[in-house]
Structure 1
């Protein structure tokens, strides 16, 4: 594993207790960052933070006031937040559009899109004041292509891509980089939310013929979150194993 220099940088990783987020947390700590894992699963979050020796904060990103409070609390404990990795999200139900439950649609949007907006909106304010910041939003290849029977997930991730592009342009003159990654499926707990038919479909679309490894995702994300990434902003970085069409 190649270490990226993140010495004394304060990094918040939502969904950092498992999957891609956990892999990112490990790499960032190895690079010298002060990491705070934010998660709504208290037991899993505390366990991960205890094993890594990092900070943990319980937060539901659907609640703007909770996001604002945990931001203040984290900055009081660790210092100004230099890095945000917005990784937390859900898959939602698998069903065709005509049968999709409107309440499930709203639930997916609330977590995957509204929550990421609240995180970006709140944390970028301090970055602008300090004149430095790195944000990486975790979108999905589904946000580019639209997966059948996953309309809510696909739409929410397309929204994350557009949010990233807008904020990247707004903050380009402030030494802040805002980018997103578009992973193909990785074998994490999110698979528990999907039908086997949908999992098989996703694998069939990946030219490399396998799922993404979480460490592969972390390698790209951590570089994007580093000072070395001093020029690219508003970008969408492919992690789709060759599936991406643009």
Structure 2
């Protein structure tokens, strides 16, 4: 009986000590670094990668205010077929010399060949460049919003995070689109506490970049990260 009592005491004591720990308490600040990706529903953009930091200030164990700062790397579709590109989007230039030679062989006069050459040059100047996956289009942005932690335990908790903000890019994304974007996110995630200060975070959800028009970039994706609570 004495041995049994000692065993029960040994099993219950750690559990009671652990139960006293809080997942997050008022005035906690959690900083996390993450990397992720978003698959985009757009003809000209396949996906983009994200990496950055997220800060959460906890009002209590259930609610926090979340500020996210991310950098973006876009992966363009090599076979662009957006209706916003003109008919000549598949060509960087039209070889005007070949066209004038063809016209000459068909008996057109020199003046008619010059008019055709001028028209082709105008088309070349207005034609979209042909992007490839190797082109580096990047940007950065932020969102701010609430985070709600469902049923937090001493080991972590499931949470829902939302945010609104803005983003900018160094080139138009898509190419006939914008360089300044409104951004919105809604995510569900798991914050799994590894130690009293360190935790592992997994997030999945929906992200929106741009206005509400054909240039908008909507997508779904997720991220993984490591957090530290001060």
- Output the TM-score relative to the length of structure 1: 0.23
Larger radius of gyration: 2
Q: Would you tell me which structure has more strand in proportion to its own residues?
A: 2
- Output the TM-score relative to the length of structure 2: 0.24
Q: Would you tell me which structure has more helix in proportion to its own residues?
A: 1
